[in-house]
Amino acid sequence: MPSPDVSPAAHLIAASGGRVTRTRIAVLEILQDSPRSLNHDDIAAQLAADGMPHDRVTLYRTLDWLVEQGLAHRVIGPDRARRFKAGGETRSQHAHFHCDRCGHVLCLESIRPEEQFTLPAGFEPDRAELVFHGTCADCGRQRGAKA
């Protein structure tokens, strides 16, 4: 019997019916530890920093799998690169904020576009993506001293 000190990430992965591998655990933990969404480079760099050798393709497939299992979700950035974040929040219709200064993408859980709009007749939306661009709270605080 395994000791109970396996990470929550490992539990989630096991509960999804997939095999619990080093890569999946490491990637999911990286996503869970980050307050913002990460792209492939971010994650690859973190894996490297953790001394985890890995393959580019495996990372793509691992992330796809996590999204498929609802353990992570994807945001498509303005640089047309995908960013990932832990939690299967895709279907909970919250907005995102992309900061033009630091480049980070943050979730705005309180804002839900679906509830706010009435579309023209005939349109049947089943989800909505709302992304704000501008200066985030962190960068805004620094601005007084800087600009």
Partner DNA sequence: CGGCTAATGCTACAATGTTGCATTAGCCAA
Partner DNA sequence: TTGGCTAATGCAACATTGTAGCATTAGCCG
Residues that bind its own copies (CB under 8 A): 76, 78, 80-82, 95, 97, 100, 108, 110-111, 113, 116-117, 119-138, 140-141
Stretch near DNA under the rule CB under 7 A, chosen from 53-61, 101-109, 122-130, 139-147: 53-61
- Rounded CA-CA distance 93/60 in Å is 24
CA angle (85 as vertex; 38, 80 as ends), nearest 5:
55
> What is 50-85 written as a DSSP string?
TT----HHHHHHHHHHHHHTTSEEEEE-TTS-EEEE
8 binds, among DNA, its own copies, none (CB under 5 to 8 A by kind): none
Q: What's the closest the beta carbon of residue 37 comes to DNA, in angstroms? A: 12
User: Is 17 strand, coil or helix?
Assistant: coil
Question: Which residues form the interface with DNA (CB under 7 A)?
Answer: 14, 18-24, 39-41, 53-58, 60-62, 64-65, 79-82
